[in-house]
Amino acid sequence: MEVRDGETVKTQVEQASSRILEMMEIKGKVTDVGAVTVRCAEYDSDEEVYRVRHPWSVYQVPVSDMENAMDRLRSGLPKEGWEIVKDGVDGSPAKSPQIVAESKGQEYAVDVRLLDERKYSDDPSLIEVTVQSACYRVN
């Protein structure tokens, strides 16, 4: 497992998130609490093994614009060095459209879901994005 500087990883994850938002070419409100460092659950709790997660959403946009943004990701991610490893629906009852991609070196992954308010009773439509790093040891 790679030894990396946590602040560098956090910066790179946030840069990847920004680039994904640019690829989507969508105008709406964006939630952004910033990237957070979390322990990798698959490793012993005594080990100093972490990953950086950056969850955010785009909302207050017509669903048709969100669908177009997902299409732009389908074509744009591979051009930017990402491999789409899943393009279908998630496991929710609404079967929301989902794209999962990994960066070429697999240092990063992105999970994008379109949550359509027509399939949910109370929640507004949004595109939910989570960019995360691979697990790493701190230096």
pLDDT digits (tens, 9 = 90+) for 19-40: 999 999 999 999 978 999 999 9
- Full residue range of the structural domain in which residue 41 is found: 3-138
Tally of structural domains, the chain: 1
Q: Which of 90, 102, 110, 83 is nearest to 24 (CA)?
A: 110
Please tell me the pTM assigned to this model: 0.91
What's the pLDDT at 106? 77
- Asked if residues 24 and 66 have their Cβ atoms less than 8 Å apart, the reply is no
Within the chain, residue ranges assigned H as helices are: 6-24, 63-79
pLDDT of residue 3: 87
Confirm if 14 and 54 have CB atoms less than 8 A apart: yes
Q: Cα separation of 35 and 6, whole Å?
A: 11
More confident residue, 99 or 106: 99
